[in-house]
Amino acid sequence: MESGESQSGRWWCPRGAPSIIPSSIGGTLGTLLIATLLAYVVVLHQRRKKLPPGPWPWPIVGNLGVLSGLPHRNLHKLAAKYGGLMYLQLGQVPCLVVCTAAAAKDLFKTHDATFSNRPKRLDHQVISGATYKSLTSAPYGPYWRQVRRVCNTELFSPAQHQSHESVRQEEIHSMMKVLMQASQTGDAIDLQSWSTGVTANNMTRMLINKRYFGTDISDQQQQKDFEELIDHVFGAAGASYISDFIPYLLFVEKLRGTVRKLEAIRAFLRRVLGKIFEVEKHRQRTLEGKRDANYVPDFVDVLLKTPLDDGEQFTDGEIISILSSMMSAGTESSANTVVWAMSELMLNPDMRKQAQEELDAVVGSGRLVQESDIPNLPFLRAIIKETFRLHPAVPLSVPRCSNQPCVVAGCHFPANTRLILNIFAIHRDPTVYENPDSFQPRRFLEQHPEVDHISGQSSYKLIPFGVGRRMCPAYNLGNTMVILMVANLVHSFDWSLPKGVGLNMAEVFKLVNFRKEALSLIAKPRSPAYLY
C-alpha cells in the first residue's frame, strides 16, 4: 500500500508531513465557493436593475436586519439614500417600503385594492388560533368587508359617534376626579395608565354598555391585567419572526421558545377578555329571549345575531378576535398619543401656556372642555396634529401584501409582495415639512392649514390613521378622544415633573411607538370646583 493511501481508499497524511491532498481539495472548495458567490452577485445585480432602489441583501436573510430595534427609524435613514419607494428582500419575501407622501399618493391611487391583503404572521396564527378573523388580520375579501361594515354601522358611523358623546364626556369627567384626588396628595400620576383607563372604559361602554375599570387605578387588578395584556399583544405584533420570511426556519422560533410565549399570550388574552365580554353569557341571554326587560342589547349581541354571507353565524372565537382588535386599537393608540402630546408640552412650556390661554378664552373656568368647543380651539387642534405627525401611534402601518401580481413604478412584482407604509418617515418628509424633527404646531395654522389628518384619501402628508381601504375605521373616535383628553388635562391643571426627574424622550417599538420611560407628572388644579 502506498504511504499516502489507506486501506479504505481514503487519503491520509502522516503526522508532520505536508498536507498536499487536503490543501488541493480545500483550494477546489474555495474556488467553487468564490465562483458561487460571484454568480450570486451577478444574478442579483441583473435582477435588481429591474427593481426600485434599496440596500444590498445578505444571502438567505436578505435585509431582515433593518426590522430590528427601531425599524421605522432604520427605514427612514435608508430612505434618505434610496428614495421614497424602496425595495427590500426580506428572506424569501419581496417588500416595497413607502417613505414619502408623493410615493404614497402614487401607489395608493392605483394599487390600494391590490395591496389590501394581510400577510400571514406567526403571532396572528398562534394567538388567534390560525383563524385570521379579526378586523385587523382578516384577508381582504367578503368576510373582512362584512366585519368592517358591521363595525362601521354599529360603532363608528357619524350617527353612532355623535350618540356616544355623553359616554366620552362622562368617562373623561370620571377620570379627571382621579387626577384631582392625586393632586391633593402631591403624588405623581402615570399618564399612560390614566389615559388607558379613560380609553378602555370608553371602549367597553361602547361595546358592552358598562364600565370595566374602576376609578381607583392603583387598586384595580383588572386594569393591571389589561395593561399587561396590551403590552404583550403589542410586543408580539411589533416583533419580526424569521419564519414569516423564511418558512423552513420555523424550528428556530420553536427552539427560541417564541411559539410557547405566544401560546401563553393567547391563554392570557382569552382569560382577560373572556371576563370583559362574557360571550357565552350573552349567547345564553339571547337564547332565553332576554328575560330582563331592562337589558339593553350591546355590540356582542349584534355580532351574535349578524348572519354572514354564507348563512353561518360568527363563532365565539371570531367574536373574541373582533372585540380584541377593537379594544387594543381603541385604547392604547389614543392613550399613547395623549402621553406624547403632554411630553412635548412639558418640553415647550410656552406652547402649554398659549394653549391654556386659548382654552380659558373659549371655555372659561367653570366647566370641562366639551366637544362643541373643539372647532373654536385652532391652536390646540394644531398641537394634536403636530403630535400625530411627530409621534404617530403606529409608525409602521400594519403590513399589507398584494393579492395578485402588479406593476409598480414600471417594475413587476408577484402576489404576496409585502408593503410597509413608513408613516414615521412620511411625516418627516423634508420636501413637505420644514425642520421636520421639530415640534412646531403653528405649521398647521400657517404653512399647512389645509392638511386633513383623518381623511385617509385626500392628503398623504399626514396619515396617522393610515390610508385607503385598510385605514383605521375608528379615526374619528381616536381623534376626538385625544383632543378631549389633552384639552382637559391642560385646561384643568398645571403640570410639573417630580423633583430631580428629567424628561427622557427615548422610544420603544411594539407596533405602537411607546415612551421608553413612563411619563409621571404632578398635577396642580387650576379651577377645581367643577371636578368634584
Q: Under CATH, what is the fold of the domain 63-531?
A: Cytochrome p450 (1.10.630)
AA identity, residue 227: E
The pLDDT-based confidence of 366 (bands split at 50, 70, 90) is: confident
- 103 closest CA partner among 485, 487, 398, 460: 460
Average pLDDT, the chain: 88
The stretch 53-65 carries a mean pLDDT of: 94
- CB-based burial of residue 379 (10 Å sphere; 0-12 exposed, 13-18 middle, 19+ buried)? middle
Q: What angle do CA 525, 529, 532 make, to 5 degrees?
A: 95
The pLDDT-based confidence of 406 (bands split at 50, 70, 90) is: very high
pLDDT at 13: 44
- Per DSSP, 430 falls in state T
The pairing of beta strand 418-421 with beta strand 493-496: unpaired
The pLDDT of residue 56 is above 80: yes
Helix (H, G, I), strand (E, B) or coil at 514: strand
Q: Which of 35-39, 133-137, 329-333, 483-487 is the least confident region?
A: 35-39
H helices of 219-298, in order, are 221-238, 242-245, 250-255, 258-277, 279-287
Query: DSSP letter string over 299-358?
Result: HHHHHHHPBPTTS-B--HHHHHHHHHHHHHHHHHHHHHHHHHHHHHHHH-HHHHHHHHHH
The pLDDT of residue 14 is above 80: no
Angle between helices 258-277 and 316-347 (to 10 degrees): 100
For a pLDDT cut of 70, what percent of the chain falls above it? Answer: 87
List phi, psi (to 5°) of 412: -90, 135
The pLDDT-based confidence of 210 (bands split at 50, 70, 90) is: confident
* pTM exceeds cut of 0.95: no
Euclidean distance between CA atoms 352 and 494, whole angstroms: 9
pLDDT at 105: 93
Euclidean distance between CA atoms 176 and 347, whole angstroms: 23
With beta carbons less than 8 A apart as the criterion, state whether 45 and 51 touch. no
The pLDDT-based confidence of 457 (bands split at 50, 70, 90) is: low
The stretch 413-419 carries a mean pLDDT of: 96
151 annotated to bind ligand:
no
Helix (H, G, I), strand (E, B) or coil at 204: helix
pLDDT at 11: 37
With beta carbons less than 8 A apart as the criterion, state whether 460 and 426 touch. yes
Q: Which three cell numbers stand for residue 127?
A: 394567538
Euclidean distance between CA atoms 418 and 432, whole angstroms: 26
The pLDDT of residue 161 is above 60: yes
pLDDT at 3: 43
Q: Which three cell numbers stand for residue 164?
A: 356616544
Q: Which three cell numbers stand for residue 357?
A: 390661554
- 191 closest CA partner among 528, 515, 524, 439: 515
Q: What angle do CA 418, 421, 426 make, to 5 degrees?
A: 155
Domain boundaries, the chain: 63-531
Q: Residue length, the chain?
A: 532
The pLDDT of residue 10 is above 50: no
Euclidean distance between CA atoms 253 and 15, whole angstroms: 44
The stretch 407-434 carries a mean pLDDT of: 95
- 358 closest CA partner among 341, 342, 375, 346: 375
Residue 258 CA to chain centroid, in angstroms?
20
User: How many C-beta atoms surround the C-beta of residue 315 within 10 A?
Assistant: 12
Sign for the pseudo-dihedral over CA of 511, 513, 514, 515: positive
Cα dihedral 17, 18, 24, 26, rounded to 10, equals 80
The pLDDT-based confidence of 20 (bands split at 50, 70, 90) is: very low
Euclidean distance between CA atoms 57 and 370, whole angstroms: 53
| C-alpha Rg value of the chain to the nearest Å | 27
- 510 closest CA partner among 274, 328, 358: 328
pLDDT at 218: 45
Euclidean distance between CA atoms 396 and 75, whole angstroms: 10
List phi, psi (to 5°) of 274: -60, -40
Euclidean distance between CA atoms 132 and 120, whole angstroms: 8
Q: Which three cell numbers stand for residue 442?
A: 403653528
Q: Which residue has the higher pLDDT, 396 or 184?
A: 396
The pLDDT of residue 23 is above 70: no
Euclidean distance between CA atoms 377 and 359, whole angstroms: 7
The pLDDT of residue 67 is above 60: yes
pLDDT at 456: 67
